[in-house]
Amino acid sequence: MIQRESGASLEHARKLTELHRVPDLIALADVEVFSQLLMPEHVRWYAEFARNRMIVGYTDKSRHAAALDSSSWTRILTLRDVQVGRPDPDLAPAGYRALLMLQLAEGFYKSPGLAARILANAPRRNMRPNAAELAVLLAAGELDYVLDYESVATAYGFHYLRLPAAIDLGDPSRAPDYALARVRVRASSPNRDSLTFTGQPIVYGLSVPSAATHHVSANDLAAFLLSRDGRAMMRAAHVDVIDGAPLIGANVPDIVRAAAAR
């Protein structure tokens, strides 16, 4: 029997590093969390298995939705009667990626102060630790727009505006441009008080912790997720999976390496 626990990636990493709750398999929405918080003490390797991009999600209830398009979204999200939701950047990669996206948008649209104007409509009361909680507020009309992943909007059936590739963190070829943005978030660690994340293409990762109780079963599950059947299952759930998942680190189990190569 598989027991699954969903939540924000930084929160899950801290459960492992601070609370010493060791899962058999861990999947995170940002591979940089592995390198910054988990390697090499807690995991020796990870697989890059999926991509995503940032979007502006909305519903038919959203104020000014009829006027929203690629040329108007920056203005609409700053209107005084609009409520914008976003994930908590101290807990979820989507939260600090929303901040990175807004930084990039200032340069792309040549609009200094744009990020601050949009964030004025996205105060802390509009932040939630995960997509599910934001989705409830958006569906209920308590939020007009959310800054989140494309996969979230697709999974919940929301309308969404695709952002320019120059700012949506979804184009691997634009990595040098994304790297111009940088944010700091709370670390909640006795060894450091903050973490710095640099803009980069969105990539999800998974691994089996070194101290996992059920190593064999966890490796089998990781191998399945990276296999053709696993990739097909994830694509059906609106995940943009990576064929031939890159493997980073040492001591990658043979069964995982073989599945990723197929």
Tell me the DSSP string of 139-206: HHTS-SEEEEEHHHHHHHT-EEEEPPTTTSS--GGGHHHHTT-EEEEEEEETTEEEEEEE----EEEE
The two tokens of residue 99 are 């901040």
Residue at 168 is within a domain: yes
Residue at 45 is within a domain: no
Residue at 194 is within a domain: no
Summarised one tens digit per residue, pLDDT across range 159-194 is: 999 999 999 999 999 999 999 999 998 875 556 678
Q: What does the pLDDT read at residue 188?
A: 58
CB 188 within 8 A of CB 18: yes
Residue at 237 is within a domain: no
Residue at 188 is within a domain: no
Q: To the nearest 10°, the Cα dihedral for 44, 248, 235, 256? A: -60
Residue at 216 is within a domain: no
Residue at 72 is within a domain: yes
Give the torsion sign (CA, 177, 169, 74, 195).
Answer: negative
Name the residue type at position 154: T
Name 51's bridge partners.
203, 240
Structural domains counted in the chain: 1
The two tokens of residue 48 are 């890059």
Q: What does the pLDDT read at residue 9?
A: 87
Q: Give the predicted TM-score (pTM) of the model.
A: 0.91
* Domain CATH code at residue 116: 3.40.190.10
Per-residue pLDDT band at 210 (split at 50, 70, 90): very high
Q: What does the pLDDT read at residue 192?
A: 63
Domain that holds residue 109: 54-178
